[in-house]
Amino acid sequence: MRENTTMLTRHLAVSAAAVMLILAGCSNPTGPVGDYGSVAGVVSDAKTGTPIAGASVCIFVVECQTTAADGTYKITTVPSDPTGMVESITASAPGYITATLQVHISSGQQTPANFALTHA
């Protein structure tokens, strides 16, 4: 009986810890607190201007997003740097040459970064 009580106590403790971790993650629905900005834009064909759906837009070590049907993307919670450091953002799509832009991320601001990809 004592062994069952010990196992039940452990199970309850682990369950309570898991619930606390889940609730802690949900306490800030707008994202992490700190110096963050975002990057958003459109990926399009350089020759025709047609939006490219399904292109991959990535910020090294931060996040990758796939463009929507209208070629748009948005990467949120990108760490900002008040010293002026820039982030490299790449866009790629099948049949196109990968493009890279350098952008400065400002805290609380959305930085535009549009790509015009050239056919490979």
pLDDT in tens, 31-46: 445 688 899 999 999 9
The pLDDT value recorded for residue 1 is: 56
Which tokens sit at 119? 């056919």
> Chain-wide mean pLDDT for the chain?
78
Is pLDDT of 65 > 50?
Answer: yes
The second-level CATH assignment, the architecture, of 36-117 is: Sandwich (2.60)
Which run of H or E residues covers position 117?
strand 115-117
One-letter identity of residue 115: F
Residue 40 tokens, joined: 């958003």
Q: How many helices (H) and strands (E) does the chain have?
A: 1, 8
Looking at the predicted structure, is the pLDDT value of residue 95 above 50? yes
Higher-confidence residue of 17 and 56: namely 56
Q: Please tell me the distance from the alpha carbon of residue 95 to that of residue 97, in angstroms, as a whole number.
A: 7
Q: Domains of the chain: which residue ranges? A: 1-30, 36-117
The helix, strand and coil proportions of the chain, stated in percent and rounded to the nearest 5, come to 20, 40, 40
